[in-house]
Amino acid sequence: MVDIRRLDPNKINARGYYADLSSTSMFLLTDEEIREARRFFRRPDLAKDRKISKQTYQSYKCQRTSPKSPSRIRIPKKLVPVALIGGTVIAISVGFVGNLKSSHEYLDPTMNVQAALKSEIVTVDPEEPITVVLEPTSSLDEVSELVTNPTTPSIPTSSVLEEKEEESIEAKRERWVHHFCDIYQVDFDIVYQKLVEVTNNFTNDDYLHGHIPGVTCKGVEVYEENEEALLLYFVRCVKQLPYRFQLTSSQISISNDYQPDMPYGESVSYFSELLGEDRCLVYAIIEAETSWESSLFVNQNNPAGLRKGDGWWSFKTKEEGFIELILELKKYARMGATSIPKIATIHAPRSEGNEDWIPNVSAMYEIVSNHPEEYFGTSNTDEKVPTR
């Protein structure tokens, strides 16, 4: 897998090709790499024209040959020769690809790719070495005998693979928590150390089942399958209720020059998707409530007239305000308010002078849902349409 951290997101085109003309590197990102790039760079619009396949998981069932024998998979005798030949071909192919990549990590975009990858068809003799010959064009340096005398490639053991996977997960967790600590303006080192402590370094049963003891949201215990969202809930809870984790506000509060690295629309889209809310509804309420130039939004980062006690709620960053609005909408949904008119009865009652709230939000919702690429930078067609 390509190291996403070393890529320039501006060099990824709409179809998922990465092209760096300064180093003459061009290659097609896999679906998994595109997903990771969107997360890492917080750019859901990356490779927007690429149709990403959904991740599926297949279950396998082993059949016992006898009640006392260990579990094993039966292979019909007819398929044994096919399996042996297939395994040999795969081993040779893996060795070829590995050596090819080590010699030329990426193809020169100016070369004739078809000619460069055209190989001779040879008859394989088990007693003779195999040589694969490439026919490069004049724009590629002379290449000869990239693969000679191939042997069975060295395949990493499961323990090595698991170690690399754990390192990758650890890096993601740190990046997510660091981002959320910037949003809530709390000390990353203190918060992350507390997170490691309460989850037993991310290994206790509660954490593995999507729960961190003490973490609540709007008065409800949080159970979240998405690990990134769970970590967001944790940082938010530490910020708002630090005493639950034997911390104080003065101990964890910081003030740095953090600025969101995404336009407002993309930020709304990102956190709406992460927390499972309709991004068009969130955007429409912001536009109808405070818009993007009101003093409440500009000075207090409050995107939708959110109140705390008898006054307006102030947030440290714009993203913190977006997240709180999304969580308010999720709270309304638990109360049965799943449509714009029902949300209005809680969030903007007509009795408080909000006669235009429902038509304004409804009209804006229609506009945004019909032109998502204009407001979010992407053209997701799977929007949820609230019942009016």
DSSP 12: B
Q: Phi and psi for 58 in degrees, rounded to 5?
A: -105, 135
**Average confidence (pLDDT) over 356-365:** 95
User: Given the structure tokens 């984790």, which residue do they identify?
Assistant: 245
Q: Against a cut of 0.85, is the pTM above it? A: no
pLDDT of 95 reads 54
Mean pLDDT across the chain: 77
**What CATH number should be reported for the domain whose range is 264-376?**
1.10.530
Please give the pLDDT value at position 72: 47
85-108 pLDDT per residue, tens: 665 555 555 554 444 444 444 334
DSSP 8-state symbol, 78: G
Task: Please report where in the chains the tokens 């190291």 appear, as a residue.
Answer: 3
Query: Left (φ > 0), alpha (ψ -120 to 50) or beta: where does 234 sit?
Result: alpha
Quick check: helix, strand or coil at residue 221? strand
Give 87's DSSP letter: H
Q: What is the dihedral of CA 252, 255, 257, 263, to 10 degrees?
A: 70
**Within a 13 Å sphere around the CA of 51, how many CA atoms are in the beta-carbon half?**
1
Pair type for strands 131-132 and 71-72: unpaired
Whether the per-residue pLDDT at 115 is higher than 60: the answer is no
Is the predicted pLDDT of residue 165 greater than 70, yes or no? Answer: no
Give, for 17, the enclosing helix (H) or strand (E): strand 17-20
Strands 220-221 and 307-308: unpaired
- Torsion over CA: 276, 281, 284, 290 (sign): negative
Q: What is the pLDDT of residues 133-161, one digit of tens each?
A: 444 444 444 434 443 444 444 445 555 54
* pLDDT reported for residue 11: 85
What per-residue confidence (pLDDT) applies to 383? 41
In angstroms, rounded to a whole number, what is the distance separating the alpha carbons of residues 289 and 302? 10
The segment(s) of the chain belonging to CATH 1.10.530 are: 264-376
Q: What pLDDT digit, counting tens, does each position of 198-241 carry?
A: 999 999 999 999 999 999 999 999 999 999 999 999 999 999 99
Tokens of 233: 């809930």
Distances (CA, A) of 85 to 66, 79, 80, 125: 29, 10, 9, 13
Residue, of 297 and 139, whose pLDDT is higher: 297
Lowest mean pLDDT among 146-160, 276-290, 367-381: 146-160
Please give the pLDDT value at position 4.
Answer: 80
pLDDT in tens, 187-201: 999 999 999 999 999
Tokens 């305000």 belong to 321
- CA dist 180 and 94 (Å) reads 41
Rounded to whole angstroms, how far apart are CA atoms 285 and 3?
38
Segment 243-253, tens digit of pLDDT: 999 999 999 99
* Residue 15, CB-side half-sphere exposure with 13 Å CA sphere: 5
pLDDT at 116: 39
Cα 280 to Cα 371: distance, rounded to the nearest angstrom: 10
The overall longest dimension of the chain from CA atoms, in Å, is 89
Structure tokens at 181: 């600590």
Residues with Cβ within 8 Å of 183's Cβ and at least 6 positions away in sequence, in order, are 235, 258, 316, 317, 319, 320, 323
175 exposure class (CB count in 10 Å sphere: 0-12, 13-18, 19+): middle
Secondary structure (3-state) at 220? strand
pLDDT, greater one: 270 or 142: 270
- Write the CA distances from 311 to 253, 274, 296, 300, 369, integer angstroms: 22, 29, 11, 12, 32
